[in-house]
Amino acid sequence: MPAPLLVTFAANDTGPWRIDRVDTVTGEGMAAARRLAVFESQAPSASEGEAWRLSGTTSNLRYTHRPEVQALTAIQEGLGRRQATRAALIPIRKSEAWWNLSQDERRACLEEQSHHIALGLEYLPAVARRLHHCRDLGGPFDFLTWFEYAPEDEGRFESLVRSLRGTPEWKYVDREVDIRLTRD
Ligand code: HEM
C-alpha cells in the first residue's frame, strides 16, 4: 500500500479539465465553475476566481477481502491513460447512521448486500479510479471519488453509477454531487 497522498481538487478558470456539468444527486449542490485542477501533495494557494477546493487523502483499504484485492489488482489500470479523456469527480457524504454501524456491518452492507466490489469489477479496466478519504479532515464530504475513462465508455460508466445508486449502501448517502469533466 503506498503512503497516503494528499490530493486537492480546485475548481478555477485554468485547470486542465473542463467541467461539463455539475449535477446535484442528493443534498446540497456545489457552485458551478469552468475548469478543474488536481494537485497531488502540495497545492498552490487559491488562484483568483477559484470557486471551491476539496482535499482528501488516499488511504489503506477498509473493507476489501484478499480475493477481492487480488481480483482488483489483476485488472485495474492507473490514472492518466492517454485515451481516458473523460473523468468524474463524485464527492459523497454518508449519514450518521452509516458511521454508527460497526465495521463488519458496513462491510456486509457494502459487499454482501450491495455487491459494490463485484459490480465495480465488471467495469475494469475501462474505468480507472482513486478513492480519497476526507471525513477525518473535517471537510463537507466523507469521500472524493475520482474516475477516468475513454469517451466510448461513458455509457457504461453511467450504468455503473445508476446501479450503485440503487443499492442498500446508497441509502446511507446523504450528500452526493456528480461532476463530469473532459481533458481538452
Ligand atoms: C469504496 C471498488 C466504482 C464510490 C470502494 C471499495 C472498493 C471499490 C474495492 C472499498 C475500499 C475499501 O476496502 O476501503 C470500486 C470499483 C469501481 C467502483 C472496482 C468501478 C469503477 C464506484 C463509483 C462510486 C464509488 C462509480 C461513486 C459513484 C465509492 C465510495 C467508497 C468506495 C464512496 C467508500 C465507501 C466507504 O468507505 O464507506 N469501491 N468502486 N465507487 N467506492 Fe467504489
Task: Locate the domains of the chain by residue range.
Answer: 6-183
Its pTM surpasses 0.90:
yes
pLDDT greater than 80 at residue 1:
no
Q: Pick from 110, 94, 73: which is nearest to 26 by CA?
A: 94
pLDDT of residue 140: 97
Closest residue by Cα to atom 26, ligand 1, is 161
Closest residue by Cα to atom 8, ligand 1, is 117
61 in contact with ligand 1, CB cutoff 6 A: yes
Task: Output the CA 17–ligand 1 centroid distance in Å.
Answer: 22
Mutate to test the pocket of ligand 1, among 145, 165, 171, 173 (most ligand atoms within 8 A of CB): 145
What are residue 73's phi and psi, to 5 degrees?
-70, -25
Tens-place pLDDT, residues 14-73: 999 999 999 999 999 999 999 999 999 988 888 888 999 999 999 999 999 999 999 999
Q: Pick from 119, 153, 169: which is nearest to 180 by CA?
A: 153
Q: Pick from 168, 114, 113, 136: which is nearest to 59 by CA?
A: 136
pLDDT of residue 23: 97
Q: Distance between the two ends of the chain, CA-based, in angstroms? A: 32
Tell me the fold of 6-183: Alpha-Beta Plaits (3.30.70)
Tens-place pLDDT, residues 60-75: 999 999 999 999 999 9
Task: Output the CA 20–ligand 1 centroid distance in Å.
Answer: 23
**d(Cα 72, Cα 76) in Å, to the nearest integer?**
6
Cα separations in angstroms, 176 against 77, 90, 140, 165, 166 = 25, 7, 11, 10, 14
Task: Output the CA 103–ligand 1 centroid distance in Å.
Answer: 16
Question: Which atom of ligand 1 lies at the shortest distance from residue 117's CA?
Answer: 2
Residue pair 75/68 in contact (Cβ under 8 Å)? The answer is: no
**d(Cα 161, Cα 55) in Å, to the nearest integer?**
22
Cα dihedral 78→84→85→91 (10° resolution): -50
87 in contact with ligand 1, CB cutoff 6 A: no
